[in-house]
C-alpha cells in the first residue's frame, strides 16, 4: 500500500518539479502563467499524496523528508515524468500522457475503498480534467499547425511513446490492492488511456512509432540519468541547510 501511494506521489512530485523549470521561461506571458497554474495544482497533489505516504510509513518521516531527503533509488516515479522538458511539444506531450492517465486514475480512485485515497482523488480530479483540456488542445494545435510544429511533436511522440507502458505495469502487490478495491486496475486504465490517446492521434497526422522498447524500472527505483541531476537541484537547499525554514 505504501509503495502504491509512493508511486502516485512521486509521479506528481517529479512532474511538478519539471514543470516548475518552465516558470518565467514560458513561450509567452499567458502560457507561462497557465503552465505554472498546472504545475502548482500538481505539486498540491504531490503534497497530499506525500503526506499520506509518510503516514503509511509509520515512522517519523514527514512529507518534506520524503521529498527532500530520499536518494534517487528510493523514488518510485515512472521514468516518463523525469524526462527533460525539451521543447514545448515534448513538455506538452509528456503532460498530455500524464493528464489522460491522471483523469482515469483519479476517476477510478474516487470510489476507492480507502477513504483517504478517495478524498485526494476526488479533489484532484477537477484539476486534471482542466489540465487535460489544455494539453489536448496544445497537441492538436501543434500537430495540425505548421510543418515545423508537426515535425517537432512527431519527434516528441517518437521519443516519449515508449515510456507510457510503465504507467500500467502490474505487480503482485498491486493486483492484491485492486482486489481489495483500494487501487485502480492498471489493465482497465491502460484500455481507457489507449482509447483516448488513439482517438486524439487519429484526428491528427501523427503516427505512433511501430517498433520500440518499453520503459520499465522506475517503480523499483531504477531511473534514467535525468532524475539524479534534477534531485541535486531540487534537494540542494534542504540537504545543505537541513530543517531550514522560510
Contacting residues toward other proteins, per CB under 8 A: 28-31, 33-34, 37, 130, 133-134, 137, 141
Nearer to other proteins by C-beta: 28 or 241?
28
Distance, in Å, from the CA atom of 75 to the CA atom of 228, rounded to the nearest integer, reads 10
Q: What angle do CA 54, 59, 63 make, to 5 degrees?
A: 25
16 near 43, Cβ under 8 Å? yes
Nearer to other proteins by C-beta: 36 or 238?
36
In angstroms, how far is CA 89 from the centroid of its own chain?
Answer: 16
Distance, in Å, from the CA atom of 82 to the CA atom of 217, rounded to the nearest integer, reads 13
Nearer to other proteins by C-beta: 125 or 184?
125
Nearest distance from C-beta of residue 193 to other proteins, angstroms: 23
Nearer to other proteins by C-beta: 146 or 210?
146
Question: DSSP per residue over 85-107, as a string?
Answer: --SHHHHHHHHHHHHHHHHHHHH
Of 180, 61, 111, 130, whose CA–CA distance to 52 is shortest?
61
Nearest distance from C-beta of residue 30 to other proteins, angstroms: 4
Q: Strand locations in the chain, DSSP E?
A: none
Nearest distance from C-beta of residue 134 to other proteins, angstroms: 6
Nearest distance from C-beta of residue 33 to other proteins, angstroms: 6
Burial 120-155, CB ≥16 within 10 A → b, else e: bbeebbebbeebbebbbebbbebbeeeeebbebbbe
Nearer to other proteins by C-beta: 40 or 69?
40
Nearer to other proteins by C-beta: 28 or 213?
28
Nearest distance from C-beta of residue 137 to other proteins, angstroms: 6
Amino acid at each position: 500500500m505504501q509503495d502504491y501511494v509512493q508511486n502516485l506521489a512521486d509521479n506528481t512530485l517529479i512532474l511538478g518539479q519539471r514543470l516548475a523549470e518552465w516558470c518565467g521561461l514560458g513561450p509567452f506571458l499567458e502560457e507561462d502563467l497557465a503552465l505554472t497554474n498546472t504545475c502548482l495544482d500538481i505539486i498540491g497533489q504531490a503534497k497530499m499524496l506525500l503526506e499520506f505516504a509518510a503516514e503509511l510509513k509509520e515512522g517519523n518521516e514527514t512529507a518534506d523528508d520524503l521529498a527532500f531527503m530520499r536518494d534517487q533509488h528510493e523514488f518510485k516515479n515512472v521514468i516518463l515524468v523525469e524526462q527533460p522538458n525539451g521543447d514545448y511539444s515534448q513538455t506538452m506531450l509528456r503532460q498530455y500522457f500524464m493528464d489522460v492517465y491522471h483523469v482515469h486514475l483519479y476517476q477510478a480512485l474516487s470510489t476507492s475503498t480507502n477513504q483517504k485515497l478517495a478524498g485526494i482523488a476526488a479533489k484532484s480530479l477537477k484539476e486534471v480534467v482542466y489540465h487535460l483540456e489544455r494539453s489536448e488542445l496544445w497537441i492538436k494545435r501543434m500537430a495540425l499547425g505548421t510543418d515545423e510544429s508537426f515535425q517537432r511533436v512527431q519527434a516528441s511522440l517518437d521519443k516519449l511513446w515508449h515510456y507510457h507502458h510503465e504507467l500500467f505495469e502490474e505487480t503482485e502487490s498491486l493486483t492484491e490492492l485492486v482486489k481489495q478495491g483500494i487501487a485502480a486496475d492498471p489493465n482497465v486504465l491502460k484500455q481507457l488511456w489507449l482509447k483516448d490517446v488513439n482517438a486524439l492521434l487519429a484526428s491528427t497526422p501523427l503516427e505512433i512509432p511501430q517498433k520500440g522498447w518499453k520503459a520499465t524500472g522506475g517503480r523499483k527505483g531504477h531511473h534514467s540519468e535525468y532524475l539524479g541531476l534534477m534531485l541535486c537541484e531540487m534537494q540542494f537547499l534542504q540537504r545543505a541547510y537541513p530543517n531550514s525554514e522560510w
